[in-house]
Amino acid sequence: MKLESRLIFRTMSRVPQLWKFSSGYFFLFVLLLAATACRAPGGKVTGVTPLNEPAPVRLADKPMPAPPAPTETAKPQLPAMASGPLAKPAPRPPTLPNGWVPLEVWAGTNGWSKPRLLDSTTTLSYALQSTNHSSRFTIGSREARVDDADCWLGFPPKLINGRPHIHALDLEKTLLPLWSRNGELPIRNRVIVLDPGHGGDDPGSRSVAAMRFEKEFTLDWARRLRPLLETRGWHVFVTRTNDAAVSLADRVKLAEDVRADLFVSLHFNSASPGVNSAGLETYCLTPMGMPSNVTRNYADDPNEFFPNNAFDEQNVQLAARLHRSVLAETNRTDRGVHRARFMGVLRGHNRPAVLIEGGYLSNPEEAELIGTPAYRQKLAHAVARALNGLLHPESSRLTRNER
Ligand SMILES: [Zn+2]
């Protein structure tokens, strides 16, 4: 049984009264949230292209059909791999009953200090502390601080009878995986697929600093990153090696064909209107039952279940691991780890899959920075250090929380 499962069981067995919220009330709440799902801060974001692909898979449906054949640009040369099926958890919906958990009860049951009120003038924020972890939650805000990175929750914490509560799904799918050690990422074949976003007739976002486009910078990022991984033992495949158009389905299919352990998509962001948005964001798929942080005109349905939802916990562990490393290397603004359903390049995977936005091409300062080889080398080093730490935890220079 995994750590989080044990923790959850302990909590549930000691405080059964937490789970007595009516399911009807909860679903009404979820539908209301889905209908009013918020936009990303900073206005309309256009850094990642929404997809033209089949309708999402429902829980009761069969898995997504196999995408078309791979492109000429990324023929896999398979390394010797472990036999048998890839180790992967069976797809499953959330296991916790839906409801709100009193922070104080959860903390006391699991050996954390009592929640400490940080600010009561404009916002109500609470700090939680354990031996190895610290977190901060603000009533009414989905933006939380989990150790040394921002992480967006599915539901804003709220006061019930004057006491701070957090949603059970956020505990199960985000907080407990991040508070546990990251050793559960299923690395079996040391195979990783890097996905330089866009390409060919899809240029991605244009830099405001020069007539240059996202597709050029993502490809360069992948080219710099690849050798840094290969020298430490990864078998690296890339979805494109030149300025070629590659469908999102083919990007997913390559990872399936080479039996990749991990999939990492590389992008740069853009906000319209406005030049003020800046910083780093990392995305992974929204767990079932939870509204997304970012929807970008996608009909975000919490009842949808995608193949990649089998990796909800590992997705957020990988996302946070990469996010922290890139933050530490670049010192850019932390815009957080986000959950989203609209990114089709993530949804169909049978492996942990994340998407990193390495800065805003619509922000003059960051556009200049992204245009420099030195910054893109920093991005490559940051991602390599986080990924290589999975294979060589003893030699990585990771912080306490990244081990
Ligand atoms: Zn993009």
pLDDT digits (tens, 9 = 90+) for 157-204: 999 999 999 999 999 999 999 988 655 687 899 999 999 999 999 999
Q: Identify the residue with better confidence: 328 or 397.
A: 328
Q: Identify the residue with better confidence: 260 or 119.
A: 260
In this structure, of 58-67, 317-326, 388-397, the range with the lowest mean pLDDT score is 58-67
| pLDDT band, residue 83 (cuts 50/70/90) | very low
Rounded to the nearest angstrom, the distance between the alpha carbon of 95 and the centre of ligand 1 is 33
Rounded to the nearest angstrom, the distance between the alpha carbon of 262 and the centre of ligand 1 is 19
Rounded to the nearest angstrom, the distance between the alpha carbon of 198 and the centre of ligand 1 is 6
Rounded to the nearest angstrom, the distance between the alpha carbon of 205 and the centre of ligand 1 is 7
The model scores a pTM over 0.85: no
Query: Which domains, from first to last, does the chain contain?
Result: 3-36+92-179 (3.30.457.10), 44-64+182-402 (3.40.630.40)
Rounded to the nearest angstrom, the distance between the alpha carbon of 356 and the centre of ligand 1 is 9
CA atoms 117, 339, 155, 112: torsion sign: negative
Rounded to the nearest angstrom, the distance between the alpha carbon of 66 and the centre of ligand 1 is 24
Rounded to the nearest angstrom, the distance between the alpha carbon of 148 and the centre of ligand 1 is 26
Rounded to the nearest angstrom, the distance between the alpha carbon of 46 and the centre of ligand 1 is 8
* Residue 155, pLDDT above cutoff 50: yes
